[in-house]
Structure 1
Amino acid sequence: MDSALVESGERRIGWAARAMPVLTAIGARFAAERPLEGLRVAACLHVTAETAVLMGALKAGGAEIALAASNPLSTQDDVAAALADYGIAVHARAGVDRDAYYRHIHQALDIAPAVVLDDGCDLVNILHTERTELLDGVLGGCEETTTGIIRLRQMAAEEALRFPMVAVNDTRTKRMFDNRYGTGQSTVDGIMRATNTLLAGKTVVVAGFGYCGRGVAERARGLGARVVVTEIDPVKALDASLQGYDVRPMAGAAREGDVFVTVTGNRDVIRGEHLAVMKDGAILANAGHFDVEIDVRALDELAQAVHRGVRPNTDEYVLADGRRLLLLAEGRLVNLTAAEGHPAAVMDMSFSAQALAVAWLVRERPSGLEPGVYDVPEEVDVEVARLKLAAAGIEVDDLTPEQERYLHSWRAGS
């Protein structure tokens, strides 16, 4: 093992941990209580410094961990080296191809996990399709992404899901802080690092106005961009309109946009007919989990020439009429490929909820949790928020006894 990589990874992890006081405190509690003693955990997550702090907390609680990457372009090799040196089985390397990506997931599953942590549902999918011999040993797991939750709920609806999964993505702290503030800042960060473009005065098209899309739209507008939103959900479209955004179909927005960001969790959001009418120099970025939101195959077919790496994480596609379209991060997660993902202070809350959800699963599963998708218990979400406020030195009010009685009485009138 390259000692220089280990040292670099340790420094990077230490820097992230400074901004993750809640998870650090949970790790200290786990070390004292050992609630995960002997628990085998298989994880498919972004191998970043923030993830390393989560892995450290789980290991402190007694877990044995095997970690694969949920996106090869986001893997930080020095962090992987530091985790391996710490005694975690890491199956990840930056930039591997699709075959190696899935091989690494299989290697993580070789641990025969009792608990799984997933980021996009690929690990759970493989368990249910190719590694079914391991299913009976799984107590449950956690899923961290909107895309993964969509897949899990469909599995549950078809009665295909064989164990309980906790929807960490759907907590109030995760949606508000991770999806909105984390995705918003890190996506814009990735676009600017990859292109060095000035967003002020540009037209930025945001496809999808969920929590992630809101965050991207807010940050782009804050930097002076004119923001156009595309949506399929009438309620979200109305919300965007009432917040002052221009809402229109992608067919119309495609002709006007300077920068396009897909944040939907669906595929083929930007298709060949949209690419065919875009401006010269239009920038295409994806902040949804999988690399299917921008139809890269259609882009390849339209292009007469492709110039790879015109800037780091930027490929230039030259169309027949000379127009150039710039694809960032190969259509993968731009915020984790061209930037460093969510700031550590944001991941502090998401991963704290994940760590506490694992401990909850271990406590509750023996009492009979059925297969299905479960919300994180409200007390876990509230505990994470309270710990974060305490770490920031922020105090909130407590209800008086009279207020408690009022809220729990239906007899009190005006």
Structure 2
Amino acid sequence: MEGPEKARLDAYFRRITARFPVDGPISLLIITHLLPERPAFLHALARTSTIAAVLPKPRSISPEAVQEVRRAYAVHDLSRAMFADPVRALEYLEKNAPSHDVVLLDIGGYFAPAITTLAEKFSGRIRGVVEDTENGHQRYEALEELPCPVFSVARSPLKHCEDHLVGRSIVFSTDALVRTRGDILTSRGACVIGFGKVGRSIAHNLRAHDLRVTVFDSDPVKRVQARSQGFRTPPSRTEAIHDAELVLCATGNLALRQSHFEALRNGAYVASVTSSEDELELDALDGLYQRTPVGDHLTRYEVTGHYFYVLAEGGAVNFVHGAAVGSYIHLVQAEILAATAALSRGEYAPGLHEVPSPVRQTIAQVWLDHFDR
């Protein structure tokens, strides 16, 4: 990022934090993609709050970004296991933010399994959670009762721009990795599993690249929507992937389990839009398939009579190329800042919440003032 771009982004975030100030001292535990643009967002958070720890999501870490962030904040390794056990999660929180008022910034519902224990037994106070993704939104929504307010930006209109561009970046990176084998996707059959905002963008972008696109979603309403937009929509996942030469998974909820891999055609490429642990049950293939790296970010899975390729080790394939979506990412980051400020005031009851429409309109106008030039 060049000097003028950094100055523009800093000015933007300063206006956002001035417009949505934090009320009183709070500490943040931040799960994040640590990509090149992310330090500026973290510095904006640090202007109004104390960053107790940054937990980068595996496989979405820029070495340059993590080096910069480590100079200013504590950076810890992240795994699902560390917050799946409520006792372990509580110990972590007590070690890093004892007796503090805490807001948890989440991407993918990592804190969801332990949130009740954290809210009830932590020596400080959990002000709430801000969740960034649809996958995480569903994890919190699935809990019988939320013990604190959870702000979700996953379904915000401001995120639609990002979701559309993520779909484009997924198709770009998939095509680029396939080409490293001297192969191309044009005119092939593709299956998109999941027809949410990102899956919809992927399906349309694949079709624009002259692929024959099939869509499967477990929600019959979304299958109807896909069908109305001209996509083939088989009634079962197995049928949808059976003849596909490319399978792109966009559910965030284990799109492919062990039995589904057996149904893949020989030579199929498999890619994901999110973490492999959320989308692909690859661990179930241990001892069954031989794994052989056949290029950068490309692994061949083979058993007698059957083989397929997994891109980016099953992680979000667009992170191979930085997952860039331009300045539109700063719309969502501003909404996260606004949600954090709202939680600091302690005015919200336990449950799922969204940032009010007037707040989003303010963010959009500030963004236009800084980036629509």
Provide the TM-score with structure 1 as the length reference.
0.78
Structure 2 residue 239 is matched with structure 1 residue 252: yes
Return the index of the structure with the highest Cα Rg: 1
Q: Report how far residue 140 of structure 1 moved.
A: 1.5
Structure 1 Cα separation of the partners of residues 247 and 133 of structure 2: 21
Cα separation, 2, equivalents of 1:182 and 1:64? 32
Shift of 1:377: 1.2
CA distance in 2, matches of 1:324, 1:215: 28
Q: What do residues 103-142 of structure 1 show as CA deviations (whole Å, max 9, x unaligned)? A: 8997576124521100112134334347853275111121
Partner of 2:170: 187
Contact 1:203 1:227 in 2 (8 A): yes
Q: In the alignment, is the contact (CA less than 8 A) between 2:178 and 2:185 conserved in 1? A: no
1:410 counterpart residue number:
none
Q: 1:116 to 1:229 in 2, by over 3 A?
A: same
Counterpart of 2:153? 168
**Aligned ranges 1:200-219 → 2 under 5 Å:** 200-219=186-205
Paired residue for 1:341?
A: 323
Q: What is the deviation of 1:261?
A: 0.8
Superimposed CA distance per residue, residues 159-181 of structure 1 (whole angstroms, 9 cap, x where no aligned partner): 2x22111011121111x1122x1
CA distance in 1 between partners of 2:158 and 2:117 (Å): 32
SS at match of 2:308: strand
Q: Secondary structure at the match of 2:135?
A: helix
Of 236-245 and 65-74, the range deviating more from structure 2: 65-74
Q: Equivalent residue for 2:358?
A: 379
Whether 2:129 is the aligned partner of 1:141: answer yes
* Residues 91 and 105, structure 1, Cα contact 8 Å, conserved in 2: no
Corresponding residue to 1:177 among 151, 154, 161: 161
Q: Which residue of 1 aligns with 2:271?
A: 285
For residues 319 and 237 of structure 1, what CA distance do their matches in structure 2 show? Answer: 33
In structure 1, the partner of 2:291 is 306
- Per the alignment, residue 153 of structure 1 pairs with 141
CA change 1:382–1:33 in 2 (3 A) is: closer
Shift of 1:33: 8.6
Letter in 1 for 2:158: T
Q: CA deviation at 1:224?
A: 1.7
SS of corresponding position for 1:357:
helix
Matched residue SS, 1:188: helix
| 2:247/2:270 contact within 8 Å kept | yes
Matched to 1:182, the amino acid is L
Deviations 1:209-268 (A, max 9, x none): 01011111122122221111001222211111111111113222222111111111222x
More displaced stretch, 142-151 vs 247-256: 247-256
- Matched position secondary structure for 2:267: coil
Distance 1:108 1:83 in 2: 20
Percent identity between matched residues is 23
- In 2, distance between residues paired with 1:299 and 1:17? 49
> What's the CA shift for 1:386?
2.3
Closer, same or farther in 2 for the Cα pair 1:106/1:184, shift >3 Å?
farther
Structure 2 CA distance, aligned partners of 1:36 and 1:190?
42
In the aligned structure 1, how far is the partner of 2:28 from the partner of 2:79? 24
Cα 1:256/1:165, change in 2 over 3 Å: same
- Of 2, 9, 13 in structure 2, the residue corresponding to residue 26 of structure 1 is 13
8 Å Cα contact 2:273-2:316 kept in structure 1: yes
Aligned pairs for 1:32-43 (under 5 A) are 35=22, 38-43=25-30
1:251-270 paired onto structure 2 within 5 Å: 251-267=238-254, 269-270=255-256
Letter in 2 for 1:27: R
Of 32, 36, 47, the match for 1:45: 32
**Measured at CA, do residues 388 and 101 of structure 1 come closer, stay the same or move farther in structure 2, by a change above 3 Å?**
same
How many residues were matched structurally?
A: 363
Which amino acid letter does the alignment assign opposite residue 244 of structure 2?
G
The CA RMSD measured in Å over matched residues stands at 3.0
Return the alpha-carbon distance in structure 1 between the equivalents of residues 23 and 139 of structure 2. 27
In 2, distance between residues paired with 1:20 and 1:82? 17
- Match of 1:169, SS state, is coil
Give the aligned partner of residue 91 of structure 1: 76
Change (3 A) 1:105 1:212: farther
Structure 2, unmatched stretches of 5+, are: none
Shift in CA distance, 270/100, structure 1 to aligned 2, threshold 3 Å: closer
Contact 2:56 2:75 in 1 (8 A): no
Tell whether the 8 Å contact from 2:38 to 2:65 is kept in structure 1 after alignment: no
Residue type at the aligned position of 2:327: A
